[in-house]
């Protein structure tokens, strides 16, 4: 199934134990690995089951037990009614559930596992669920999931050891690794390979064309080019077909290893209907996904009575012997689930903290620990050997079962897919027993369970066992005869008399679920807090009147003197490290990735910079829409192209004469622009030139910190700053906090991100002048001189003038024919480098998060629009007139049809949008910006917040299925 011969081209992927992936996800996030399963393939595979009653359904049963034992959250996806009518030249079945499918759904309900009916093919829906973040990975034998856009796909869940029949390992296919590998295939490339060499919907492809040739064509960009052609553009499609035929015949561009003159491309290639099956499959709408999220419950209770009845009817596990078999198979998997769920509940503060109660509850699950190992079946993931009572886990009444007709339990047979927790479950130390083995669920059983899970659900048991192991390993002192202890003295040192006051009683899995240290720290979440009030010298407890004037969610830290200022910064650092997991490793390019539904971003510590921002365009093609470098190390080397996505500071934009006055004292800072006439972005060693510290990093957020010392670049006082970037569905959030610790100092920050919503891939233009800009609140701008230094004036943006983006949206290049454009961005400069005032007071109290964006930027080519929401009062727009073709595009950008076009940023190739306060406000007293720009140890911290919300226009091309915003 899928694309013929594709695995030879993309390779086998990474072979990893599924248990290892599950444990790592639990350790990382505090929740199980979420897995979308293409159920139709499972139902096909289980037909090979043999022996007993209903062997196929029994195999399915054991696979469910295996998933339960691995602490995985599966979401089973079934084919829906709108799948293509033909597959592999055979008519696909109707949407009426077959008997195996019907029984599988009944079994899923009794296990409490959720399932979902796709609108069309299950593999396309699985890929959508993974892209949207509803699941982490997809499990499918069909590589089509990669072609439908899954970022991570697992296949070939099977035993790693030839002697075993228990599935343990999977092949992991990562879309980024596949693209970076020898094949160079991305989603669009795989679509082309399916069309040329044969796939599910067109098995014959181009007659005589194999996957190697098709991969070479995809690597040459024919797949991306095909998917970008408008649906009604038959001329462009014909040109594409002719170009492909010419290259195959002549190999003039050396795309192929040799000429393929014998290949004849059919006139109707590619068939539009077949192409649409790949690019726009039937998948859930945005409303459908929202309904799924609302109704999706991962940890539902197992229905023991119905499950017991089902196994009796389906597998003939009847009477007492059948009930014992039911317990024997289910109990180990259920124990793992119970331990994991207990750990999660304890970490959330939902369980008792009394040591005696904790100990009693643990004893119901774990009666003892008897060893530790690292086994090849789990890729050496640490496990503990646990003793437990099966009957206490699967609490069914054996006395209510019908007695066996005769004593025939005997030696129990191992089923092919016996779902024990791990391979090698037998006791490695115990000798083999001879004769029949009579299973008794009331007797203790020993199994191997992942150490992480046991520590989460039974921390006291693990602590006691580890202490015993330490005592065993410690050197034994010389034997000294002591008087016999009295009964009273002995009882005073019994277990629990002292250690209960020192032992850890909280279950959990580390930082993601760790209990907060105090209510104060608990509120200091940099990704959520609306503001942090800094302590003042001599500050007393807050009066009721003062408290009433503060926002109810605003935390207050009390203290006094400069020491308390430093303590405040330390407190925020501790809060960040506690409330968010510590930083994980960068990727191979030194970047940290965060992602959410519809958005993926990469950041680097240098300048706390955004380096990549991926959004799917109107055709479903992923566009990297911000400038940067491929590798983090390039930023510190290339000094000719600064400020790419960084945080300029400690004072963004320009400072006139590089001087300012605070409380009568004049300060001179580093003059780094216009031959020493002014300061730009904090000087030659501003904040966007420095390496920040990564304080925390999760799947959806990253926090950087920087301590700027007194005197650096001439600025007074120590300043501690935190920048948190986070993502939610289709939105990028940024929050910047900066505290003056020792002296009054100017602080004004921004995000200096260079945007091109086409991802520098528009065949018609290499500039961003086609982007449409709207500034609905900016009827004024700050007046500047010829070197862009404010002159104290606030100028009107008259309707219809060059700087009018408020009366109606217009393209950035719309006024470039107007004579007034010359000099608009400085002497002899045509374009924009202007600070627009954000006038919102006229509308009364303003809720910046909800009352409308201060700016909107969109592109008709990509269909992408970004709406900018911010709490700042000015908005700088720079049209990149300084770009001159010396900055190379990233590997994720700039693939044009015309390959002779250089992959560089040309003049006007981007647009910078900076949220900030009035530029050089520290030197313009008439603007009264000191409260917004001058901060001392007694003042609240500087705060900047912004949200960039993305949306995409309706698709009108062959491009891959879009995300509906």
In a domain, 265, yes or no: yes
* pLDDT level of residue 49 (50, 70, 90 thresholds): low
Whether residue 946 sits in one domain with residue 891: yes
Name the DSSP letter for residue 265: -
Measured CA angle at 628 (ends 620, 609), to 5 deg: 105
**pTM (two decimals):** 0.53
Q: Is the pLDDT of residue 410 over 70?
A: no
Whether residue 340 sits in one domain with residue 451: yes
542-582 residue pLDDT tens: 332 332 333 333 333 333 334 434 434 443 443 443 344 44
In a domain, 288, yes or no: yes
Tell me how crowded residue 342 is: count the other CB atoms within 10 A of its CB: 23
Whether residue 534 sits in one domain with residue 440: no
Whether residue 389 sits in one domain with residue 352: yes
In a domain, 148, yes or no: yes
What percent of the chain stands above pLDDT 70?
Answer: 79
* CATH label of the domain that carries residue 687: 2.70.98.10
Catalytic residue among 383, 673, 914, 916: 914
Distance CA 920, CA 784 (A): 10
Choose the final residue of a domain: 549, 579, 609. Answer: 579
Does the annotation count 216 as an active-site position? no
Measured CA angle at 5 (ends 4, 6), to 5 deg: 95
Choose the final residue of a domain: 295, 325, 350. Answer: 295
* pLDDT level of residue 499 (50, 70, 90 thresholds): very low
Whether residue 143 sits in one domain with residue 46: yes
Instruction: Report the candidate in 344, 346, 342, 385 with the shortest Cα–Cα distance to residue 367.
Output: 385
3-state secondary structure of 236: helix
Whether residue 856 sits in one domain with residue 716: yes
Whether residue 335 sits in one domain with residue 268: no
> Cα dist. 472→476, 521, 819 in Å?
9, 40, 88
Q: Which domain holds residue 249?
A: 187-279
Tell me how crowded residue 561 is: count the other CB atoms within 10 A of its CB: 14
In a domain, 683, yes or no: yes
Whether residue 622 sits in one domain with residue 555: no
Whether residue 134 sits in one domain with residue 81: yes
Least confident interval from 47-61, 740-754, 902-916: 47-61
Whether residue 327 sits in one domain with residue 274: no
Catalytic residue among 752, 771, 916, 945: 752
Instruction: Report the candidate in 755, 754, 760, 682 with the shortest Cα–Cα distance to residue 721.
Output: 682
* Greater model confidence, 557 or 372: 372
102-118 residue pLDDT tens: 888 888 999 999 999 99
3-state secondary structure of 554: coil
* CATH label of the domain that carries residue 93: 3.40.50.1010
In a domain, 271, yes or no: yes
Q: What is the mean pLDDT of the chain?
A: 81
CA 587 to chain centre: 14
Tokens 């899928």 appear where?
A: 2
In a domain, 852, yes or no: yes
Whether residue 286 sits in one domain with residue 272: no
Number of domains in the chain: 5
Distance CA 89, CA 918 (A): 66
Which run of H or E residues covers position 329?
helix 319-347
Least confident interval from 229-243, 421-435, 697-711, 800-814: 421-435
Does the annotation count 420 as an active-site position? no
Answer whether 598's CB lies under 8 Å from 963's CB. yes
CA 370 to chain centre: 38
2-39 residue pLDDT tens: 576 677 777 778 899 999 999 999 998 889 999 999 98
Burial status of residue 852 (CB atoms within 10 A of its CB: 0-12, 13-18, 19 or more): middle
Burial status of residue 640 (CB atoms within 10 A of its CB: 0-12, 13-18, 19 or more): exposed
The pLDDT assigned to 844 comes to 47
Choose the final residue of a domain: 459, 492, 525. Answer: 492
Instruction: Report the candidate in 862, 271, 889 with the shortest Cα–Cα distance to residue 621.
Output: 862
Whether residue 388 sits in one domain with residue 433: yes
> Cα dist. 238→233, 242, 244, 399, 430 in Å?
9, 6, 10, 76, 73
Distance CA 310, CA 491 (A): 52
In a domain, 962, yes or no: no
In a domain, 505, yes or no: no
Which run of H or E residues covers position 452?
helix 451-457
Helices (H), 493-620: 519-523, 544-548, 561-579
Structure tokens at 897: 């049809």
Instruction: Report the candidate in 252, 270, 275, 257 with the shortest Cα–Cα distance to residue 216.
Output: 257
Spatial CB neighbours of 816, under 8 Å, sequence gap ≥ 6: 769, 830, 831
Crossing angle (nearest 10°) for helices 187-197 and 272-279:
150
């Amino acid at each position: 199934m899928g694309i013929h011969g594709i695995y030879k081209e993309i390779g086998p992927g990474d072979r990893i134990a599924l248990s290892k992936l599950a444990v790592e996800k639990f350790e990382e996030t505090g929740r199980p690995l979420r897995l979308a399963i293409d159920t139709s393939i499972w139902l096909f595979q289980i037909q090979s089951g043999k022996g007993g009653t209903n062997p196929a359904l029994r195999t399915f049963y054991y696979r469910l037990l295996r998933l339960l034992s691995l602490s995985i959250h599966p979401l089973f996806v079934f084919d829906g009614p709108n799948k293509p009518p033909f597959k592999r030249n055979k008519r696909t079945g109707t949407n009426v559930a077959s008997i195996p499918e019907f029984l599988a759904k009944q079994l899923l309900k009794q296990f409490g596992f959720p399932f979902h009916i796709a609108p069309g093919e299950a593999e396309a829906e699985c890929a959508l669920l993974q892209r949207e973040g509803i699941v982490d990975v997809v499990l499918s034998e069909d590589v089509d999931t990669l072609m439908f856009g899954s970022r991570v796909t697992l296949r070939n869940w099977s035993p790693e050891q030839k002697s075993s029949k228990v599935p343990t390992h999977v092949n992991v296919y990562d879309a980024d690794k596949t693209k970076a590998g020898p094949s160079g295939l991305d989603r669009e490339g795989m679509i082309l390979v399916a069309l040329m060499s044969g796939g599910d919907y067109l098995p014959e492809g181009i007659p005589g064309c194999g996957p190697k040739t098709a991969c070479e064509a995809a690597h040459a960009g024919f797949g991306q080019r095909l998917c970008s052609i408008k649906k009604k553009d038959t001329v462009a499609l014909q040109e594409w077909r002719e170009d492909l035929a010419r290259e195959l015949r002549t190999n003039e561009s050396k795309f192929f290893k040799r000429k393929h003159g014998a290949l004849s491309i059919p006139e109707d290639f590619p068939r539009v209907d077949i192409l649409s099956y790949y690019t726009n499959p039937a998948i859930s709408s945005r409303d459908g996904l929202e309904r799924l999220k609302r109704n999706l419950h991962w940890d539902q209770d197992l229905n023991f009575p119905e499950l017991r009845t089902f196994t009796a009817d389906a597998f003939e596990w009847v009477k007492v012997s059948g009930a014992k078999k039911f317990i024997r198979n289910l109990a180990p998997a259920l124990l793992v689930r119970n331990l994991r769920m207990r750990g999660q509940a304890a970490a959330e503060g939902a369980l008792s903290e009394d040591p005696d109660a904790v100990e009693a509850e643990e004893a119901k699950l774990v009666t003892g620990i008897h060893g530790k190992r690292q086994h090849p079946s789990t890729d050496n993931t640490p496990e503990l050997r646990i003793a437990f009572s099966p009957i206490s886990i699967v609490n069914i009444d054996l006395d209510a079962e019908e007695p066996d007709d005769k004593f025939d339990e005997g030696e129990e047979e191992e089923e092919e897919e016996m779902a024990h927790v791990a391979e090698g479950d037998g006791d490695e130390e115990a000798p083999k027993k001879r004769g029949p083995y009579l299973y008794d669920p009331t007797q203790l059983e020993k199994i191997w369970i992942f150490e992480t899970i046991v520590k989460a659900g039974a921390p006291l048991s693990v602590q006691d066992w580890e202490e015993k192991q330490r005592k065993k390993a410690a050197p034994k002192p010389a034997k000294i005869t002591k008087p016999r202890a009295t009964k009273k003295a002995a009882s005073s040192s019994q277990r629990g008399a002292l250690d209960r006051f020192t032992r850890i009683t909280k279950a959990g899995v580390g930082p993601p679920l760790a209990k907060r240290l105090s209510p104060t720290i608990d509120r200091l979440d940099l990704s959520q807090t609306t503001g942090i009030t800094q302590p003042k010298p001599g500050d007393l407890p807050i009066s009721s009147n003062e408290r009433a004037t503060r926002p109810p969610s605003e935390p207050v830290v009390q203290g006094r003197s400069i020491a308390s200022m430093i303590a405040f910064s330390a407190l925020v650092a501790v809060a960040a490290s506690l409330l968010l997991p510590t930083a994980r490793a960068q990727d191979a390019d030194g970047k940290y990735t965060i992602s959410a539904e519809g958005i993926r971003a990469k950041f680097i510590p240098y300048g706390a910079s955004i380096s990549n921002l991926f959004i799917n365009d109107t055709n479903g093609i992923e566009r990297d829409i911000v400038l940067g470098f491929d590798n983090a190390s390039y930023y510190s080397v290339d000094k000719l192209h600064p400020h790419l996505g960084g945080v300029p500071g400690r004072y963004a934009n320009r400072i006139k004469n590089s001087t300012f006055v605070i409380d009568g004292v004049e300060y001179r800072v580093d003059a780094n622009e216009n031959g020493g006439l002014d300061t730009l972005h904090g000087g030659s060693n501003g904040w966007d030139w420095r390496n920040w510290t990564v304080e925390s990093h999760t799947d959806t957020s990253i926090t950087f910190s920087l301590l700027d010392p007194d005197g650096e670049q001439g600025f007074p006082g120590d300043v501690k700053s935190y920048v948190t970037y986070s993502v939610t569905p289709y939105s990028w959030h940024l929050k910047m906090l900066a505290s003056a610790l020792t002296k009054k100092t100017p602080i004004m920050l921004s995000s200096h991100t260079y945007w091109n919503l086409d991802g520098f891939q528009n065949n018609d233009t290499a500039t961003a002048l086609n982007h449409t800009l709207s500034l609905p609140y900016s009827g004024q701008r700050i007046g500047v001189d010829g070197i862009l230094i404010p002159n104290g004036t606030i100028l009107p943006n008259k309707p219809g003038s060059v700087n009018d983006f408020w009366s109606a949206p217009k393209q950035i290049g719309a006024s470039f024919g107007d004579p007034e454009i010359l000099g608009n961005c400085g002497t002899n400069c045509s374009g924009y480098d202007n600070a627009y005032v954000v006038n919102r007071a006229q509308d009364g109290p303003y809720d910046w998060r909800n009352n409308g964006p201060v700016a909107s930027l969109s592109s008709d080519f990509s269909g992408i629009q970004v709406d900018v929401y911010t709490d700042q009062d000015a908005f700088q727009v720079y049209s990149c007139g300084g770009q001159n073709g010396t900055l190379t595009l990233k590997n994720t950008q700039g693939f044009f049809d015309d390959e002779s076009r250089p992959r560089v940023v040309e003049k006007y190739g981007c647009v910078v949008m900076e949220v900030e306060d009035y530029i050089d406000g520290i030197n313009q007293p008439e603007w009264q910006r000191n409260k917004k720009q001058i901060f001392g140890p007694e003042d609240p911290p500087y705060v900047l917040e912004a949200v960039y919300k993305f949306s995409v226009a309706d698709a009108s091309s062959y491009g891959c299925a879009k995300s509906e915003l």
